[in-house]
Homo-oligomer: A and B are copies of this chain.
Amino acid sequence: MIDITDPAVGMVQLVIFTVEPNSQQQIASAIADQVEKTVAHRAGFLSATYHLSTDGTQIMNYAQWTSTDAFDAFVTNPAARAALADLDGILSTTGSAWRIHRAVTPASAR
């Protein structure tokens, strides 16, 4: 269970990878494997969920961190990032930082 509205979430990092055709699932699994071995051991890491675009061209990671400081400490650590640099088939990567504003749930659930 990964709760989007968990109060422990201090920042959300959205990373979108554009990948070579027909490599989407394989690359998503390879990235998740690496993250499981490295980032998942870092203080402040809460979750990383990999999504596949229905058009087959992109992978999106919705990642939860306890704070921007915790994420920055990861990003500035070269060892933690080197593993991803070795993966083939990633054409481009963009990242953006977010905080939760408000959630809307079904009317029937209120």
Mark A residues whose CB is within 8 Å of B: 1-5, 11-12, 14, 25, 28-29, 32, 35-36, 39-41, 45-55, 58-60, 62, 68, 96-108
Instruction: Indicate how many identical chains form the complex.
Output: 2
Query: Could you tell me if A98 and B53 are in contact, using CB atoms closer than 8 angstroms?
Result: yes
Secondary structure class of chain A's binding surface, majority of residues: strand
Query: Could you tell me if A68 and B49 are in contact, using CB atoms closer than 8 angstroms?
Result: no
Among B5, B14, B62, which residue has its beta carbon within 8 angstroms of that of A1? Answer: B5
The 9 residue pairs across chains A and B that have the minimum distance between CB atoms: A51-B98, A2-B4, A50-B101, A49-B103, A54-B97, A48-B104, A40-B107, A41-B107, A28-B101
Residues of B within 8 A of A62 (CB): 4, 62
A50 and B14 CA atoms in complex are apart in Å by: 13
Among B4, B101, B104, which residue has its beta carbon within 8 angstroms of that of A36? Answer: B104
Among B51, B100, B106, B107, which residue has its beta carbon within 8 angstroms of that of A51? Answer: B100
Residues of B within 8 A of A50 (CB): 100-104
Query: Could you tell me if A46 and B99 are in contact, using CB atoms closer than 8 angstroms?
Result: no
